Amino acid sequence: MANSKYEYVRAFEQPDCLLPNTWIVVRIDGRGFHKLSAKYEFGKPNDRRALDLMNAAAVGVMKELPDLVVGYGVSDEYSFVFHKDCVLFERRASKLTTTIVSTFTSYYVHLWQTYFPSTPLSPPLPSFDGRAVVYPSVRNLRDYMSWRQVDCHINNLYNTTFWTLIQQGGMDAKDAEKELQGTLSSDKNEILFSRFGINYNNEPEIFKKGSVVFREYEINPLVDQSSASVAPKPNPQFHEGHTDSTDAPQKLSKSAAEKDRKTKAKAKIAVEHIDIIKDDFWGRRPWILS
């Protein structure tokens, strides 16, 4: 672009590159979804269509951004994780966050009619906010993911009990809230079971555990492998005490990067409702955090 006397304004832009070699989490959250869920008559406490729509939008995001390794969603929020070696947009926080937010929102609006065929959208339209946070270790990242899943569990147990007291117990919201004040998890399980015959354990997994999205390269020996693509090779491991190694971010050659991109593009995006706190999920899918 030609120089102009106005160009000095560029210097006002502040750098916002995220720390290298760290896992980048972009968490988005629906704006005013309490109101939106009332407007479109979401079932309470969990509207399955709305959750499926969130997951479908997340799959769209994963497909468009191969640098993402995993996502986790609950209620009106989704967390997306960029690999620690990611160099997309030079790791600029605003670029990464706004790209996720707008891609997710586009899919959410585009797919709305698939999940809510008889209630067309009207302004104010669904929108999302977003933020980027970096985590320096796999342990920190997994603790982050665990934090969101524990939050899902705590909220869902509360909401399930709260809405059962209203829908089946005939209480109003104020009385239900009072009834639950100071109760422990065990008390809520007991209320559900003894008063309403509901075993919380039998509630749908998607409500209890939220949703995990990731690229599936089947290596789970329990599942049919015929249609599975092959997982990319893990990065060379850093061995402590091995003086030739460094912990520099891995940079692929052009051809290796192209191959990696193709492998990722071919992979199916899985949506599962399973525990991500214990080691099992990660241990069976070593490519996610490698």
* Residue list, annotated binding site: 29-34, 75-76
Residue 130 interacts with Mg ion (CB under 5 A)? no
Residue 40 interacts with ligand ATP (CB under 6 A)? no
Give the interface segment with ligand ATP, choosing from 29-37, 105-113, 162-170, 273-281 (CB under 6 A): 29-37
Q: Which of 24, 28, 37, 287 binds ligand ATP (CB under 6 A)?
A: 37
Least Cβ distance, residue 75 to ligand ATP (angstroms): 4
C-alpha to C-alpha distances, 95 to 18, 41, 76, 241, nearest whole angstrom: 11, 34, 22, 38
For the chain, give the longest Cα–Cα distance. 76
Task: Compute the chain's Rg from CA coordinates.
Answer: 22
Token digits of residue 159: 């909401």
Q: Where are the beta strands (DSSP E) in 75-138?
A: 77-82, 128-135
Give the residue with the Cβ less far from Mg ion, 33 or 214. Answer: 33
Binding site for Mg(2+), residues?
29-30, 76
Site for Mg ion in 47-86 (CB under 5 A): 75-77
Ranked by CB distance to ligand ATP, the top (closest) residue is: 34
Residue 251 interacts with ligand ATP (CB under 6 A)? no
Query: How many residues in the chain?
Result: 290
Q: Which residues fall within 8 angstroms of residue 88, CB to CB, at 6 or more apart?
A: 65, 67, 82, 95, 96
Site for ligand ATP in 45-84 (CB under 6 A): 46-47, 50-51, 75-76
